[in-house]
């Protein structure tokens, strides 16, 4: 069963009540079609959305700090307390030092939070897999938010990541992202050996997100 | 009517349900004693707490970006959408570039969000007042989280800030913070010309936060 | 006597020997025409160029740290030891937290290093003037590296900065920059009340930097 | 022949002329004893010292940018132009995002600059080895600058790093550091499978750096 992780980013279309609406759409399409969805709301809505949907909610980012005097930072324990089940780490739009990725993967693991570490190419995917997160999500930054899916523009980066990670840390699951929009993109992602996709604008910025979601899952 | 702003920081004692409990304590003590409280929850709880209390909720931090492809960042519009009424900016534990403070003060103003810009001394207070936020909160970093209040250890920094800001931007209100714990600290803060205090550990880390809140307001 | 500060940035045309050549050109044009030049070489060349020219050399950036265990950071004392006479601070391409600008202005002052704090608009210029640097250099970021000078595209930002700073901290001198290339740009900058200009690509990226320098000083 | 890399950090004892003096001491001890020394001067002294010693000079840090409008940043090409032969990357005191480490390792390789990527534990060492730098230097941050060498306090981290890297990227050489001061520390580092050590305060902050250098090399 492929996984579809929807990153809400900081789009106006996914703030507050609109974010909850979008999360519920993902939930209902997933339940109807027997697919696994994860939603990644904006930080201020994390608890609010986690309380109101049954599908797993992930944070978009978490800071590599222990709880304490860390004004404005979001620590793993706070993600956990919000009811979220995991977090993105090192998204191309919020990059993290390697010491921090390592620390976060271990800390989140100890809190039973899943981790999706984002990478930009095969060598960084290999490096991050060595840190043993739940998922590595490979996304070429130049394709993020664009009209051509990574599965079309650069399938080699996806299959190369799958292969490299299989050798170095076979327990780490692979997602791919960047430009993913259609059912074919998702199908090809699976054929290339991934567990699913990470996407954002393709759903969140769609004129009709519900239609976009159905389009996305139609071939799986 | 003095203002008491309680920064929840990233303490375990203020996460999730405990955060809501604390916010409600502030609300009830404020209503009972006729005092203005502001609470600054952890980011993941922002909407959750804003929905459940009547007192103003502020974010602890906000990022200087327009809404959009900004994974993991909290933009002013998202703070607004959460139901918050304002935000801290440039806390000593989450410092901001001056270009960002300027941009945020203006953007938040246009969204009708109040801004509390934190500063560490008189010259930075003057500089920040020139950017025209709603409040400047002066807090010597070396006293933050400590046992001696800024009003005892360094009253000159408080009165000096009040005076400097009066000359440069008299419409900007002044708070003070760092080590504030007792009713006397609050009373002296007011006598020194501020509108109130910004505090964190004195309440959040107190063995009995309710008692700590009553102690805090007993002289005003 | 107007001041012309040339920021070498990280251009290939200003690295190493080419940087020294450029610094010497500035020196000879300045001496020939009775003008004050400052050159801001790339960090690795700071001492090398400071040793080999008579005009003042400034760092492009300095980190807000005391000397010590700060691998890879450039502290004010190291700028001083290199023979430089000052430093840029908070360039739009290397922004600094306001606590750091304040700390650096004071520390550099105590080391007898001049400071040029870069700003992006009138309100940030006012804020930075409150910190009492030697110079404020106002540069609208959207014009930096472009073909139209700030003196043509936005003379109000220059005169507005001069005026605002005169009220708040009259001892602080004003420079302007962004798109400055011609003798007329420099002349107008002076007429608008500045002490001179800060520029980069107009000289460093010029096909013939010597010609560009003569062009720049022809009206003063 | 073991390698001894001396990181000058931002110590007062290694600025400017003192830095050159120290570099020359390393050079003469190395030549006398047939040992390989690398010195890592402060950025402003890079070209100045590279010109005046025969041993390899490395930068302490380099920024992950192409040459261009990058005021105050040190790009790999500028390190190369200064005469340096390599650079530290990701020192615990100047941490780098993993995308940046990957980019720098490749870019420096293409410029024929050696790279020493610093790490804090075995898993990060493995991750960084996957990026294929010239060296990985493992240094537990809590021992840096202290009195007990990593080779005494935590030899397992050294041998574990050597072993893990041998499996994943056998061409990558290993250094170790933190608290290294004596000849025995260096000898044990070699016995644990490294090519040598990375150290700083043990030499730079020594009362008598010359004596400290002789002490360091006496068992090899």
Q: What is the ipTM of this complex?
A: 0.95
| Residue A84 touches partner B, C-beta closer than 8 Å | yes
- pLDDT at B146 exceeding the cut of 90: no
Q: Tokens 């002066």 correspond to what residue?
A: B138
Q: What is the pTM of this model?
A: 0.96
Please say if the pLDDT value at position B179 is more than 90.
no
Distances (CA, A) of B61 to A48, A82, B27, B58, B101: 19, 18, 22, 9, 11
Instruction: Find, in chain A, the residue whose alpha carbon is nearest to that of D165.
Output: A130
Assess whether pLDDT exceeds 90 at residue B147: no
Q: What pLDDT score was predicted for residue A193? A: 95
Query: Is some CB atom of chain C closer than 8 A to the CB atom of B121?
Result: yes
Instruction: State the pLDDT at residue C33.
Output: 92
- Chain D closest CA to A39's CA: distance in Å? 25
For residues D58 and D88, the answer to whether their CB atoms sit within 8 Å is yes
- Give C144's contacts in chain D (Cβ within 8 Å): 69
Task: Verify whether the Cβ–Cβ distance B127 to C123 is below 8 Å.
Answer: no
Catalytic center residues of B: 91, 139
Match 């271990």 to its residue by tokens.
A106
Contact C69 D10 (CB under 8 A): yes
C141 close to C134: Cβ distance less than 8 angstroms = no
CA distance B109 to chain C (A): 15
Closest CA in chain A for residue B200? A69
Residues 6+ apart with CB under 8 A from C175: C3, C5, C116, C135, C136, C137, C138, C189, C194, C195, C196, C197, C198
Residue ranges of domains in chain C, CATH in brackets? 3-217 (3.20.20.70)
C contact test, residue of B65, B94, B95, B98 with most C CBs within 10 A:
B98
pLDDT score at D101: 98
C-alpha atoms less than 13 angstroms from C-alpha of B52 in its C-beta half-sphere = 19
C61 is catalytic: no
Exposure string of C9-46, with b = 16+ CB inside 10 Å and e = fewer, is: bbbbbbbbebbbebbbbbbebbeeeebebbbbbbbbbb
SS3 per residue for chain D = CCEEEEECCECHHHCHHHHHHHHHHHHHHHHHHCCEEEEECCHHHHHHHHCCCCCCEEECCCCCCCCECCCCCCCHHHHHHCCCCEEEECCCCCCCEHHHHHHHHHHHHHCCCEEEEEECCHHHHHHHHCCCCCEEEECCHHHCCCCCCHHHHCHHHHHHHHHHHHHHCCCCEEEEECCCCCHHHHHHHHHCCCCEEEECHHHHCCCCHHHHHHHHHCCC
Enumerate the residues of chain C whose CB falls inside 8 A of the CB of residue D78: 10, 15-16, 42-45
pLDDT < 50 regions, chain A: none
Length of chain A: 220
Angle at which helix B209-217 crosses helix B183-191, to 10 degrees, equals 40
Structure confidence at residue A219 (pLDDT): 83
CB contact under 8 A, C127 and B131: yes
User: Chain-wide mean pLDDT for chain D?
Assistant: 95
Q: How far is CA C9 from CA C41, C60, C93, C142, D74, in A?
A: 7, 7, 9, 17, 9
| Measured distance CA(D162)–CA(D193) in Å, rounded | 6
In this prediction, residue A52 carries a pLDDT of 97
Residue A75 to chain B, least CA–CA distance (Å): 7
- Listed residue (D87, D64, D67) closest to D78, CA to CA: D67
D216 inside 8 A of chain C by CB: no
| Local confidence band at B95 (pLDDT 50, 70, 90 cut-offs) | very high
In this complex, the residue of A46, A145, A200 whose CB is nearest that of residue B44 is: A46
Test the B interface: residue of A20, A40, A71 with most B CBs within 10 Å: A71
Instruction: Find, in chain C, the residue whose alpha carbon is nearest to that of B105.
Output: C123
Q: Quick check: B141 pLDDT over 90?
A: no
> pLDDT tens for residues D43-66?
999 999 999 999 999 999 999 999
* Predicted local distance difference test score (pLDDT) of residue C58: 98
Cα C100-B92-C111 angle, rounded to 5 deg: 25
Chain D residues 185-204 within an 8 A CB cutoff of chain A:
none
H or E element at residue A123: helix A122-129
* D and B touch per CB criterion (3+ pairs under 8 A): no
Q: Is C184 known to be catalytic? A: no
Q: What is the model's pLDDT at position D56?
A: 98
Query: What's the whole-number mean pLDDT along residues B162-177?
Result: 95
- Residue C90's pLDDT band (cuts 50, 70, 90): very high
CB–CB of A78 and B15 under 8 A?
yes
Is A161's Cβ below 8 Å from some Cβ in D? no
Task: Please tell me the distance in Å from B167's CA to the nearest CA on chain A.
Answer: 30
Indicate if the pLDDT at residue B142 is higher than 90: no
3-class state of residue A192 by DSSP: coil
Higher pLDDT, D149 or A119: A119
Nearest to D99 among A120, A130, A168 (CB): A120
A92 touches chain B (CB under 8 A): yes
Whole-angstrom distance, CA of residue D160 vs CA of residue B99: 46
How confident is the model over D116-130, as pLDDT tens digits? Answer: 999 999 999 999 999
Identify whether the C-beta of residue D161 lies closer than 8 Å to the C-beta of residue D201: no
Top-ranked range on mean pLDDT: pick from B142-156, C170-184, D84-98 = D84-98
pLDDT band at C98 (very low <50, low <70, confident <90, very high): very high
Q: Hey, CA dihedral for A142, A148, A154, A155, is it positive or negative?
A: positive
Eight-class DSSP state of C10: B
Beta carbon pairs, A and D, within 8 Å: 67
Taking an 8 Å cut-off on Cβ atoms, the answer to whether D102 and A123 are in contact is yes
Sign of CA dihedral C152, C157, C158, C160: positive
Q: Is A3 helix (H, G, I), strand (E, B) or coil?
A: strand
Poorest-confidence range of C37-41, D150-154, D159-163? D150-154
Query: Contact, D199 vs D6, CB < 8 A?
Result: yes
For A20, phi then psi, to 5°, come to -65, -45
- Considering only CB atoms, which chain B residues are within 8 Å of A16? 47, 78, 81-83
Mean pLDDT score of chain B: 95
């Amino acid at each position: 069963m492929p996984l579809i992780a929807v990153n809400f980013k900081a789009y106006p279309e996914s703030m507050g009540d609109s974010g909850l609406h979008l999360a519920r759409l993902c939930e209902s399409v997933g339940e109807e079609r027997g697919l696994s969805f994860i939603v990644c709301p904006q930080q201020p809505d994390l608890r609010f959305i986690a309380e109101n949907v049954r599908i797993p909610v992930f944070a978009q980012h978490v800071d590599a700090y222990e709880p304490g005097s860390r004004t404005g930072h979001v620590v793993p324990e706070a993600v956990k307390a919000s009811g979220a089940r995991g977090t993105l780490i090192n998204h191309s739009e919020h990059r993290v030092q390697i010491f921090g990725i390592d620390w976060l993967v271990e800390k989140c693991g100890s809190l039973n939070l899943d981790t999706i570490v984002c990478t930009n190419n095969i060598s960084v995917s290999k490096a991050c897999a060595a840190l043993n997160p739940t998922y590595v999500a490979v996304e070429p930054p130049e394709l993020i938010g664009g009209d051509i899916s990574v599965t079309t523009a650069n399938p080699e980066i996806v299959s190369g990541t799958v292969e490299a990670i299989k050798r170095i840390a076979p327990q780490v699951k692979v997602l791919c992202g960047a430009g993913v929009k259609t059912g074919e993109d998702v199908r090809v992602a699976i054929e290339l050996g991934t567990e699913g996709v990470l996407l954002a604008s393709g759903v969140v910025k769609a004129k009709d997100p519900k239609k976009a979601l159905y389009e996305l899952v139609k071939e799986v």
